[in-house]
Copies of this chain bind each other. A is one copy, B any other.
């Protein structure tokens, strides 16, 4: 058995053309734990791959999230964040610097009885809010 890469992002997405731009984005995202915004992705990928456009970044991210290859995080008010780790896990967010770190899915989360009402539950996501040590040191308040 061949040694596996960090992920299989480059594998089978039907009708997905392997363009150099997309490969550059996938490469940047592969194993990336920083939960970057589209803008950050654009800036970083641009460094290596010149002539990258915002439209391509957005198109690619939308295609990838529809295909389930990337998870769209709605954690920040102003912007979407993207997570290449599509496994079920939760997040810990620094309320000061908005840094986001992963929390393994080892949490038992269940709706209180009767809460679901007429809903069919599909999943859940826990956001923990806190202050990272860097921000704690910087500020007294």
Contacts and interface: CB of A to CB of B under 8 A. Distances in A.
B103 A118 contact: no
Copies of this chain, whole number: 2
Interface string A42-78: 0000000000000000000000000000001011110
Nearest to A125: B127
A75 B131 CA distance: 21
Contact of A119 (B72, B127, B132): B132
Interface stretch (A3-11, A23-31, A107-115): A107-115
A136 B120 contact: yes
Interface of A: 72, 74-77, 80, 92, 94-95, 101, 103-104, 106-112, 115-134, 136
